[in-house]
Amino acid sequence: MNVIGAWKKGYTGKGVVVSIIDDGIEYTHPELVANYDPKASYDFNSNDGDPMPRYNTGPHWNTYNTEDSNWYDNKHGTRCAGEVAAVGNNSHCTVGVAHEASIGGIRMLDGEITDMTESRSLRHARDHIDIYSVSWGPEDDGLALDGPGKLTKEALKEGAAVGRDGKGSIIVWASGNGGAKDDNCNCDGYTNSIFTIAVGSANSAGHRPWYLESCASTLVSTYSSGDRKLDKPIITSDLSSGCTDRHTGTSASAPFVAGFIALALQANPNLTWRDVQHLLVKTSSLSKLTGEDFMTNGAGYQYSHDFGFGIINGGALVELAETWPTISTQHICQEKVKREYPESRFNETNAMTLEVTTTACQDSRKAIKFI
């Protein structure tokens, strides 16, 4: 993923704050303690400022990473934190993508999970935290059609408007691990939100892993685990000052992207939430991946419902970020449509064309929303 290309340019995430919204982080871990940021942390399960995970609590049922049957001790958040900000040259286990970034933990999965809990987590310290990394969501059972509640929807929208002193909170979300049950991340209202960056996975050979969900909302991908016997998993920090070589799924991909975005924000602190999405699209690539649904969109970019716009490229990302001009704010056009739907038809590939004449947006490059 060319993280070395970014490091060679001097970017390490220094000055950027990332928080893991999960089951807590072991901030005393030798790879995390030097980068730990208490201002970016909170425990919404116990309502205090200490995000240390509980130990020996049994299987953790609410995370995306369902392929790991040994899901104990609330270790998920610590593993994700190590990918982002494990300190460099520590000779212990791993090095984070943004190994000088400040890392925090928002503990909220180890208890009753409500709309209020999710909303408060996404609102926490939004003028201090630059990037939120989230690797959980609805059940991966191929049946659930679920998403954020009213309060959480408002938190996502407000974060884009007022987070980071008006530049917008960057919220990275794992696309889900329900591929084996034909789950579809379009049915996940968290990853399908315009205010989040949905992240998928490729295995070490560049193929679609068995757990991957395919959908239009996936923006970008990273390498992650695949078949247990054939593909390499992710090595990262673990509980009890430990190290694991079993971190897996799209749960591992979202923190990688959070770390890469931290490098980009160090290169250009003025990037807005929309700038970051544009940069990811322009610098990611499908060239080293294999798939059956690669297409080219109207803007000339190759994309896939498996991998989005492809594998992230750290060196290219920071290089483009350095001179990136801030784009315009989000623009939405609305047009009322009669109850009888306009003429529609399916073409030979079973894609539907819907033709509507509207004067709502004179500039065709801007989005039109039909209501």
For the chain, domains (ranges, CATH) are 3-322 (3.40.50.200), 332-370 (no CATH)
Q: Give 291-347 as a DSSP string.
A: -S--EE-TTS-EEBTTTBT-B--HHHHHHHHHTPPPPPPP-EEEE---SSPPPEEE-
Record the pTM. 0.90
The answer, yes or no, to whether residue 71 has pLDDT greater than 70, is no
Catalytic residue among 119, 135, 225, 251: 251
**Residue 76 is among the residues annotated as catalytic for this protein:** yes
The answer, yes or no, to whether residue 134 has pLDDT greater than 50, is yes
Convert the pLDDT of each residue in 84-108 to its tens digit: 999 999 999 999 999 999 999 999 9
Please compute the mean of the pLDDT values over residues 71-86 and round it to a whole number: 90
- Give the 3-state DSSP-derived string for 223-247, with helices as H, strands as E and coil as C: ECCCCCCCCCCEEEEECCCEEEEEE
pLDDT band of 60, cuts 50, 70, 90: very low
Name the percent of the chain lying above pLDDT 90. 78
**Residue 251 is among the residues annotated as catalytic for this protein:** yes
State the Cα–Cα distance between residues 154 and 356, nearest whole angstrom: 30
Higher-pLDDT residue of 235, 354: 235
Catalytic residue among 29, 37, 43, 76: 76
Q: Which is nearest to 287 in space by CA: 301, 299, 276, 298?
A: 301
| pLDDT reported for residue 229 | 83
| pLDDT reported for residue 232 | 86
State the Cα–Cα distance between residues 248 and 252, nearest whole angstrom: 6
The answer, yes or no, to whether residue 69 has pLDDT greater than 50, is no
Sign of the Cα torsion 183, 186, 189, 195 reads positive
Convert the pLDDT of each residue in 301-352 to its tens digit: 999 999 999 999 999 999 999 999 999 888 777 766 665 555 556 666 767 6
Q: Is 53 exposed, middle or buried (0-12, 13-18, 19+ CB in 10 A)?
A: buried
Of 66-75, 138-147, 251-260, where does mean pLDDT reach its minimum? 66-75
The answer, yes or no, to whether residue 355 has pLDDT greater than 90, is no
Q: What are residue 48's DSSP bridge partners?
A: 43
- The torsion region of residue 189 among left (phi > 0), alpha (psi -120 to 50) and beta comes to alpha
pLDDT band of 131, cuts 50, 70, 90: very high
